[in-house]
Structure 1
Amino acid sequence: MQKLSYIGVILLVFASCKTAIEPFNKKNISNREFKETFQITEHTPKAKSNVKYYWYKSRNVQATQSDYAGELLDGTYTKFYHSNQLAQKGNFNKGKKTGLWKTWYENGQLASAMKYKNGRLAGRSVSLDSTGNIVSVGRYASGKRSGRWIFPQQGDTIRYHKGEVKVVEEKDSLNPGFFRKLFKKKAKDSTNQKEKRNFFKRFVSKKEENPASKNVNKKTTRVSQKKNKKQTNTKKKKVQGKKKKVTEKKEPNFFQRLFGKKKKNNTT
């Protein structure tokens, strides 16, 4: 029982010490623009290069690259406008930003959402204007822009590699790759097949059209032959009629012969 009582007393003392330390580590500062609330740590780790550290000294938060000279920020950090509108929120781990960090405009509109890992930007990042329109969307890797970044307001899409703009080289069109050659061959084969199909279609259509055209031609030739025959027959009839008339005119009739004989007798 005595052991249990001793353990209880120790726990109470530890809890009271912890509650006494927490207010000491928590800081509230204010300037002309913002009010800040954060915590500090007594740990003093070795500074790493290419990492930004946030530290507290003389009632101000400072930020330096690759080193620090004060008490490192640790835990939850919040920044407010004097209107008590939230301006920034995130977490520190021994002076380094970690996890998701967000910022807001004074009108309450989200300004940015970025992810950090060991004090460097890592992962998806989005920034917006004061009306909520997206300004940029992309990813970071080891604190540098990487991959495709979209800028909707400018209508641009830029690719980055280790923070530098990646220039996409155009391949020589005279030396196409294997797949381009393959697809070109397939395209040519398809066009040739289409041409062959079109040829056979035209050939078959001609065959289909020829019987009808032949019948039409036969009919027209028959009609024309009949017309020609009729015309020739009519011409023959007219010629024969003219010949008969001529012969009829040449042959004298009975009275002509009679008077002709009388005239001959008188003359004799």
Structure 2
Amino acid sequence: MEGLSMEENAEVFQGTVNWYFENGNVFQIVNYKNGILFGTRKAFYENGKLKTETTYKNGKKDGKWKAYFENGKIEESGNYENGEKEGLWKIYYKNGKLKDEGKYVFDRKIDIWKTYYYDGTDQE
């Protein structure tokens, strides 16, 4: 781990903090403001490829969120507001085709979600 701690012998961070796997590759890059998660957080697979990208505001997920398969293709995308899933979310197969899509309101699934077959055709 490397970054700036605001207090001696405490893990109250300020600015960008990098965490590492034992092999030396970056595990995650996290931004803090006065010890609270703020801004972009990126997590990586041990091979160095991006795993998740999240935006934080005042310690809570707030904004775009994306997850990736180890092959680099998108796994899931959506939005958070004040720590809760909100709006349109999409989930994908490893081949990059859309698997599910639907909406969240206050962290709860609403309406009917669409599900797709592995080849991308609609499961109606």
TM-score by length of 1: 0.38
Q: Which residue of 1 aligns with 2:119?
A: none
- The CA deviation at 1:167 is 2.6
**Aligned-pair RMSD on alpha carbons?**
1.8
Tell me whether 1:108 sits opposite 2:48 in the alignment: yes
Is the helix fraction higher in 1 or 2? 1
Amino acid at match of 1:41: M
1:155 to 96, 99, 116: 99
Amino acid at match of 2:55: K
Amino acid at match of 1:155: K
Q: Which residue of 2 aligns with 1:257?
A: none
CA shift digits 1:66-125 (9 cap, x unpaired): xxxx55222220011122111111211122111111111111111011111111111111
CA shift digits 1:44-77 (9 cap, x unpaired): xxxxxxxxxxxx85xxxxxxxxxxxx55222220
Q: 1:71 to 1:159 in 2, by over 3 A?
A: same
SS class of match (1:140): strand
Tell me whether 1:39 sits opposite 2:4 in the alignment: yes
1:164 to 82, 85, 108: 108
Identity among equivalent pairs (%): 26
Larger RCO (alpha carbons 8 Å, 6+ apart): 2
Distance in 2 between residues matched to 1:92 and 1:146, nearest whole Å: 23
4+ residue runs of structure 1 moved beyond 3 angstroms? none
Distance in 2 between residues matched to 1:86 and 1:152, nearest whole Å: 25
Distance in 1 between residues matched to 2:24 and 2:44, nearest whole Å: 12
SS class of match (2:88): strand
Q: 1:71 to 1:107 in 2, by over 3 A?
A: closer
- The CA deviation at 1:142 is 0.4
TM-score by length of 2: 0.79
Amino acid at match of 2:5: I
Q: 1:71 to 1:130 in 2, by over 3 A?
A: closer
Distance in 2 between residues matched to 1:71 and 1:106, nearest whole Å: 24
Tell me whether 1:123 sits opposite 2:80 in the alignment: no
Unaligned runs of 5+ in 2: 113-124
Counterparts of residues 57-206 of structure 1 (less than 5 Å): 70-153=10-93, 155-167=99-111
Distance in 2 between residues matched to 1:91 and 1:101, nearest whole Å: 6
Q: Which residue of 2 aligns with 1:23?
A: none
Amino acid at match of 2:21: Y
Unaligned runs of 5+ in 1: 1-35, 43-55, 58-69, 169-268
- Give the number of equivalent residue pairs: 108
Q: Which residue of 1 aligns with 2:121?
A: none
